[in-house]
Structure 1
């Protein structure tokens, strides 16, 4: 059997990992691209045994990089979420954790030159149109991965990657509150449908008979919760103008509750068929906006801020995630100007990943 070799970097970005590819090395046609990524990851088997996926949604993600078509940014970042088992590829969302590795990957690929001890990489998220500036530690023209920053959900420490997200409001739906309401009632449950960095449907944990303190494994074992949640998510997607979302991972679903471990809010984030083992970077911004905006399902958990940027700590199943939110608020008016986070990334491997020639041949 002939095989097709595709150059790749294998990287951890935040609490996710996957292949980082040059878009020029892949087919232009979207259907052909989906077949290539499905084969690469090994979707269709719970362990992704015939590919390089890791048998979980956070390890079947793909980043595709190219020189930016926007003169205000350096790199275009095109994201794909490949399913673990059902051979589906969703090109609609973006991923903030995988985005953490985009700056280092762009330097490794030669798309952006390293400059001094700190290299700034301006990124355009193709899927949503958001602009992100990444600050990457570099030394002697190369990415520096060693450092003393620790993030919950990843063992050890590494060099920090600073991220500043801009243009995060309404990237998918065109509005922060695409239904026109800050609270909607779906199947008897109050939800906030909100689009900041990631379109989400957010509800109170207590309204599902939960505390919010449940582990990711306990929530995944609670199939009655998913059977109640999924129809609400799908109806919310329709109300948000996203159409039939039954085969899409967006909008994501989130739960909020009062904090218990020193944070500002307790969160659980769903992908949506499983609970995220920690918390998505994009989801953290959306949850933070919901927490700070008056009149949402998260109202009352946090006292209204009297300054900006607001430093928030979000509790998730594996610890805490810090988010800096630059907001405008005046009574009922609310807007997000930017959001900042510090995460880490690491290059795990480089070389060629092989797919069957029957799936795609360059010729």
Structure 2
């Protein structure tokens, strides 16, 4: 029996663990095996899955099966983050995307370690995500040494606020902001926008699929033909976008079909009195309970730019996005060095300590 030091955390509406790189083995397969044990997902392709994840700390959905490996460089004042995504129904481990929600838990870990000031510049923490090769900046606002708190959609109580900024978010895993070369494409007779800002995403108007955009998650899961149709569009769109995996290799149709992370899908519709636009967010294998930070930031950028599916419904530099949990605010601003996308979340540390790894 072995054990490993970790933080069990929540960032936004996602939960999982943060582990320092120095506490992990160096080889990828060993890290993946540890991740499977921590979350209680199948160890092999042939192992029967247990959706309750009784053997680990996952909560039975993809938003609870997330792991960040962090490597802290005090001299560079940079935190290097690597994100792993798992799903409860298979042994797959994805290294291909970042998670904005979970990123917001990293400042709390640094604060608990007592080194937040050592890696901050002007009260902002610079995080380099190795999955997307992009810089993200976070701040943990404090008043007289005490963390400022806030409430966000999907989280019912107050926790430490974390502000998050995505610098130059274009082309995270493709060649450009609109990697197909168009702001609008027609795929399987449906108009879509393929955009890559923070994360590659396919934007579709709900009404073009015969949906109102007001359906519940249960309603949507019962519309199996439409969900299957959306997935076909997603795979074809992913091919046209030329999405690359973490190794820089373009993903094939088979890769995309199997992927538990790429590309995301946003079904959008008009907002209401308290929102600018509404989203149903597919991650892509599951329907999200709210909206991911990455997906919301991506949609807000689309709303900022003329001539695409999203800006036909709403155009502006700040966007109130309605989702299953409420309304989330995102913004776009120009800086001297490019575009910056921003939002705020709250985060919490559930506990820290040793997770026991029992040998097979």
TM-score of the superposed pair, with normalisation by structure 1:
0.88
Paired residues of 1:5 and 1:352 also in contact (CA < 8 A): yes
Moved more, 23-32 or 337-346: 23-32
Cα shift readout 1:8-44 (whole Å, capped 9, x = no counterpart): 1111101111111111211221222212111211113
Whole-Å separation in 2 of the counterparts to 1:59 and 1:313:
25
Matches within 5 A, 1:147-162: 147-162=148-163
Residues 299/167 of structure 1: CA separation in 2 closer, same or farther (3 Å cut):
closer
Residues 327/113 of structure 1: CA separation in 2 closer, same or farther (3 Å cut):
closer
Residues 70/29 of structure 1: CA separation in 2 closer, same or farther (3 Å cut):
farther
Residues 322/128 of structure 1: CA separation in 2 closer, same or farther (3 Å cut):
same
Q: Which residue of 1 aligns with 2:312?
A: 300
Match of 2:257 among 235, 243, 246: 246
Relative to total residues, which structure has the larger helix share, 1 or 2? Answer: 2
Paired residues of 1:67 and 1:111 also in contact (CA < 8 A): no
* Distance apart, 1:337 and its partner CA: 0.4
Paired residues of 1:212 and 1:266 also in contact (CA < 8 A): yes
Q: Which residue of 1 aligns with 2:68?
A: 63
The count of corresponding residues between Structure 1 and Structure 2 is 340
Whole-Å separation in 1 of the counterparts to 2:238 and 2:351:
38
* Distance apart, 1:355 and its partner CA: 2.1
Residues 336/313 of structure 1: CA separation in 2 closer, same or farther (3 Å cut):
farther
Matches within 5 A, 1:38-53: 38-44=36-42, 45-53=50-58
Stretches of structure 1 lacking an aligned partner (at least 5 in a row):
329-334, 359-363
Cα shift readout 1:307-358 (whole Å, capped 9, x = no counterpart): xxx2211111110110121149xxxxxx960011111111111111122224
Moved more, 94-103 or 39-48: 39-48
- Tell me the secondary structure at the aligned position of residue 312 of structure 2: coil
Matches within 5 A, 1:223-242: 223-242=224-243
* Distance apart, 1:267 and its partner CA: 0.7
- Tell me the secondary structure at the aligned position of residue 103 of structure 1: helix
Residues 16/228 of structure 1: CA separation in 2 closer, same or farther (3 Å cut):
same
Whole-Å separation in 2 of the counterparts to 1:275 and 1:113:
38
Q: Which residue of 2 aligns with 1:192?
A: 193
Paired residues of 2:79 and 2:119 also in contact (CA < 8 A): no
Paired residues of 2:74 and 2:119 also in contact (CA < 8 A): no
Q: Which residue of 1 aligns with 2:131?
A: 127
- Does residue 339 (structure 1) correspond to residue 337 (structure 2)? The answer is no
Match of 1:353 among 345, 352, 355: 355
- Does residue 14 (structure 1) correspond to residue 15 (structure 2)? The answer is no
Whole-Å separation in 1 of the counterparts to 2:87 and 2:74:
28
Residues 251/70 of structure 1: CA separation in 2 closer, same or farther (3 Å cut):
farther
TM-score of the superposed pair, with normalisation by structure 2:
0.88
Paired residues of 2:74 and 2:118 also in contact (CA < 8 A): no
- Tell me the secondary structure at the aligned position of residue 226 of structure 2: helix
Q: Which residue of 2 aligns with 1:318?
A: 325
Paired residues of 1:253 and 1:269 also in contact (CA < 8 A): yes
Stretches of structure 2 lacking an aligned partner (at least 5 in a row):
43-49, 244-250
Q: CA RMSD in A?
A: 2.3
- Does residue 267 (structure 1) correspond to residue 279 (structure 2)? The answer is yes
- Tell me the secondary structure at the aligned position of residue 300 of structure 1: helix
- Tell me the secondary structure at the aligned position of residue 327 of structure 2: strand
Whole-Å separation in 1 of the counterparts to 2:330 and 2:149:
19
